[in-house]
Structure 1
Amino acid sequence: MKRKITVGSRDSALALWQTRWVVEQLQQQNPDVTFEIVTMKTKGDKMLDVALAKIGDKGLFTKELEVAMQCGEIDFAVHSLKDLPTVLPAGLTIGAVCQRDNPGDALVSRDGRKLAELPRGARIGTSSLRRCAQLLNCRPDFQPVSLRGNLNTRMKKLAAEGLDAIILAAAGLIRLGWQDMIAEIISFDICLPAVGQGAIAVECRSEDDYILKLLQGVEHPATRAATNAERALLRHLEGGCQIPIGAYGEVVSGKLNLTAVVATLDGSQVIRAGGEALPDQANQLGIEVAEKLLAMGGKKILQQVRAGE
């Protein structure tokens, strides 16, 4: 008799693509196992009329799935890693981090123009304070417009709301086969991505040895090291959706490089720092780069942002 494993997923097209991809890999490796996908809506999926920064982000897109895991209703859940809080609920762990796809931010414009070609005062849709701050640092004339909803909804709003462009995670567009709509992948010199952007994470119960062993089949050590460094930095800065923080880690020639930014909400000040270490020192590297940012003026910026200044 085949063993049945129940997998949790949000019900958006992108979330289901990611969950089915993980299940397909595991199914090929474990033909004696049956997988069933269960979908559910999270708080973040339901509250689409409020900016992310105003809701608070602790488990906004993950809590319902995590409760289902803790109750034994599902065996593991597939997430976009950038949605996972840096501190997980008791009894849960990240069982696997899959190989990262393009981590960058993608510009989708109405007429295919690139960022530098957009008209003065261009209206750009994004729900991310991180993107707003870094874009305004590059072009203070831009007019950011709050944009929520799944990828389909956001694409429709590009024309319906008279926006010049919207910014989305490149990986999501590529996974859904919409790469032809991308006018430009924004340079990291202009806009560093969200922590974990482009990576898929699989969360499970920390004591479930069978599932933990199963998930090793989709684990990618280099992506795990890179995103561990990013998450350690974010955790040390105590940041989230309400704080403009960008970071990108990458293993190159056996070394782990990490670059990160902290910005004021209006983009008038962007502080950037970086560092390098061995992949097994990822957490330490994240803390070191976070400390650099704080010492360079990041501490004052974070205090101002949290105070609502």
Structure 2
Amino acid sequence: MRSSTTITPEGSRQTPPLGIAADVRIGTRGSALARCQTETVARLLSRLYPGAVVRTQVVRTEGDIDKQSPLTLIGGRGVFTSALQVALLQGRVDAAVHSAKDLPSLEPPGLELAAFPERADPRDVVVSRHGVGLLDLPRHPTIGTSSRRRAAQVRALRPDAHIVELRGNIDTRLRAALDGELDAVILAAAGVGRMGWHDRVAAYLPVDLFIPAPGQGALAVETRCAPDVTATMVRAIDDADVAISVRMERAFLRGVGGGCLTPIGAYAAFEPNATGRERMIRVHAMLASDDGDRLERVCELVPVARGEEVAFDLARRLMRAVRPRYQTAGVPSALPLAGLTVMVTRAADRAAGLVAALEAEGALPVVLPAIAIEPADDQAALAEAARRLAEGEFDWVVFTSANGVTPLAQHMHELDRSTSQRRWRTAVVGAATRTAVEKAGWDFDLAPEKSTADELVRALDARGIAGAKVLIPQGNLARPMLVDGLRAADATVVVVQAYRTVPATGADRLARRLAHEGGIDVVMFASPSAVDGFLAAVGSELAALSGACFVGIGPTTTAAMRERGLPVHAVAEDPSNSGMVRAVTAYFGERPVGPGEGEDRDA
């Protein structure tokens, strides 16, 4: 953080009303364009809140510090935004202004996009010393861009072009195009326009032919989540129509699973509505493979109310069409997951089976134990439950996790009586739980096809659970749906804590390092507690995983993912190691993921 500017509206300053901050610090990158954009937001806030002092503070980002390396080498995902987000989380600034196209698809926990106050021209432009558009450039032109989205679309229109990596501020890139070093550069019209350089544009590229990056041309203001005084103030400058369009484009971005490293474009605009019908919005979207050989576009008109849902689904359609593959030296390309780096968030002692299954398909697993399993606090209560079970007090024992089987079985075996003549029936959820029950020397009587609380309650109800006495050994974070459902079915339910799920020691350091270094293609979750542990561990580095595919083991876990703001790209059809691997294999058989774009963030 280096310098600050204070925006003071005309007239005498008044004491701000209750609930309005007296001092608002807005974080910005240090480039001329970024400062210009931030001053726009500062003026809007000052006009609306004349009693507040609005100041801007420069925060240097990774992309600003390293202006030479290609964005794909320095991370690409969030290199222009992560430092601002950290400053927000640490309370050094109260809001941050971004070019919306810079933002990865994932928001760090604790932050929100509070406003999209304006949008300039979303198109890309050609700046050229020849003074002509893309199609009229000389044969074999040399064209500069740091964006793989732009590069892929240039190649589609001008296969004879030579594309060169071009980094630097907007004025640096303009000089490269106008002083003879290059035949042309492709820039965002909004950046050129905000600097007042319209006269340097040789041609504007239409959005149906050359699709912009999601959010291109729009400003985004990020704040800490409510309750936050600045967030409340910033929401008042939001432009609702701009927000709808940009959020739809970002839904497409999330559906692909790509941050700023995937060749992806999306632009949504309202259709004129002269008939009073439901408002409609037209979305243009494109996706390309990493090498640019496969590029697909789509254009659809959809109701505004379904915009984000449809955009997410459109991403899956384009994934099936483009279908790129990873290739890694030493990994046979015939294997379906060859070269994919997969983060496994299970407890360390539960990860081996999934790791082996992933390796068999060519993946490169990285174990991040986001959670650890520890003994229950009250072993006496668990021992008492085991005694009552052995003496026949329960009709059913229900295991929803393998973690609950072993502790109960150990207490049972410590009793001086045979468990072979058991008098209870056993219901299990999932293949791993069934295996643990069999390993304990017990048979299982019921395993529902779908591993959900509702399905298990229905299956038990069909077996006449009304009036039965049920023991459920579970963890400290177990959700209440199963217990509530069985009690509603007139069963008597006794719950005993069999184990505790706690955050894994040291997970935060490992998670943040792995995320920051990039290269994680898949993140897998086998429980809601793993989702929570992962988010707590990764913290502000979550945005760096915007390019990853997020996979859940079943509906309970995926519900937790959605509740916490994570996309769900694949769901295991059965809650097992093989089911998780099949879900990823099916997804990557139709999904283009890989190192990709990297917009140049000044224009």
Q: 1:161: Cα distance to partner?
A: 6.5
**2:149 equivalent to 1:167:** no
Which residue of structure 1 aligns with residue 323 of structure 2?
A: 299
- Identity value in percent: 37
SS at match of 1:271: strand
2:296 to 258, 271, 278: 271
SS at match of 2:72: helix
Please say which of residues 238-247 and 266-275 is displaced more in the overlay: 266-275
Which residue of structure 2 aligns with residue 285 of structure 1?
A: 310
> 5+ residue gaps in structure 2?
1-14, 17-21, 274-278, 326-587, 597-603
Q: 1:58: Cα distance to partner?
A: 2.5
SS at match of 2:236: helix
Matching of residues 158-307 of structure 1 within 5 Å: 158-159=177-178, 162-252=181-271, 253=273, 254-295=279-320, 297-300=321-324, 306=594
Q: 1:57: Cα distance to partner?
A: 2.3
Instruction: Please give the per-residue CA displacement for 1:41-65, whole angstroms capped at 9, x wherever unaligned.
Output: 1001111111112322232111111
**What is the Cα-based RMSD across aligned positions, in Å?**
1.9
**2:92 equivalent to 1:68:** no
Q: 1:189: Cα distance to partner?
A: 3.3
Q: Work out the CA distance in 1 between the residues paired with 2:595 and 2:34.
A: 34
AA paired with 1:96? A
Q: 1:267: Cα distance to partner?
A: 3.5
Which residue of structure 1 aligns with residue 39 of structure 2?
A: 20
2:166 to 147, 150, 153: 147
2:136 to 94, 108, 117: 117
Which residue of structure 2 aligns with residue 108 of structure 1?
A: 127
> 5+ residue gaps in structure 1?
none
Q: 1:163 to 1:307 in 2, by over 3 A?
A: closer
Q: Work out the CA distance in 2 between the residues paired with 1:294 and 1:153.
A: 35
Instruction: Please give the per-residue CA displacement for 1:186-219, whole angstroms capped at 9, x wherever unaligned.
Output: 1223310011100000000012432222112321
| Number of residue pairs matched by the alignment | 307
Q: 1:199 to 1:34 in 2, by over 3 A?
A: same
Matching of residues 39-50 of structure 1 within 5 Å: 39-50=58-69
AA paired with 2:284? T
Matching of residues 74-93 of structure 1 within 5 Å: 74-93=93-112
1:262 touches 1:271 (CA, 8 Å); kept in 2?
A: yes
Q: Work out the CA distance in 2 between the residues paired with 1:52 and 1:161.
A: 24
Q: 1:287: Cα distance to partner?
A: 1.0
SS at match of 1:247: strand
Q: Work out the CA distance in 2 between the residues paired with 1:102 and 1:212.
A: 26
Structure with bigger RCO (C-alpha 8 Å, 6+ apart)? 1
SS at match of 1:197: coil
Please say which of residues 245-254 and 272-281 is displaced more in the overlay: 272-281
Q: 1:304: Cα distance to partner?
A: 6.7
SS at match of 1:53: coil
**2:158 equivalent to 1:134:** no
Q: Work out the CA distance in 1 between the residues paired with 2:203 and 2:78.
A: 30
Please say which of residues 17-26 and 202-211 is displaced more in the overlay: 202-211
AA paired with 1:155? L
Instruction: Please give the per-residue CA displacement for 1:139-192, whole angstroms capped at 9, x wherever unaligned.
Output: 100111110011112112225561011111000100110011011111223310
1:7 touches 1:74 (CA, 8 Å); kept in 2?
A: yes
AA paired with 2:39? R
Q: Work out the CA distance in 1 between the residues paired with 2:594 and 2:231.
A: 37
Q: 1:176 to 1:108 in 2, by over 3 A?
A: same
Which residue of structure 2 aligns with residue 55 of structure 1?
A: 74
Q: 1:85: Cα distance to partner?
A: 1.1
AA paired with 1:306? G
Q: Work out the CA distance in 1 between the residues paired with 2:225 and 2:593.
A: 35
TM-score by length of 2: 0.49
Q: Work out the CA distance in 2 between the residues paired with 1:219 and 1:304.
A: 33
Q: 1:241 to 1:161 in 2, by over 3 A?
A: farther
Instruction: Please give the per-residue CA displacement for 1:216-258, whole angstroms capped at 9, x wherever unaligned.
Output: 2321111111111111111111113332111111122321221
Please say which of residues 263-272 and 68-77 is displaced more in the overlay: 263-272
2:135 touches 2:157 (CA, 8 Å); kept in 1?
A: no
Q: Work out the CA distance in 2 between the residues paired with 1:274 and 1:190.
A: 11
AA paired with 2:594? R
2:261 touches 2:595 (CA, 8 Å); kept in 1?
A: no
Find the structure with the greater CA-based Rg.
2
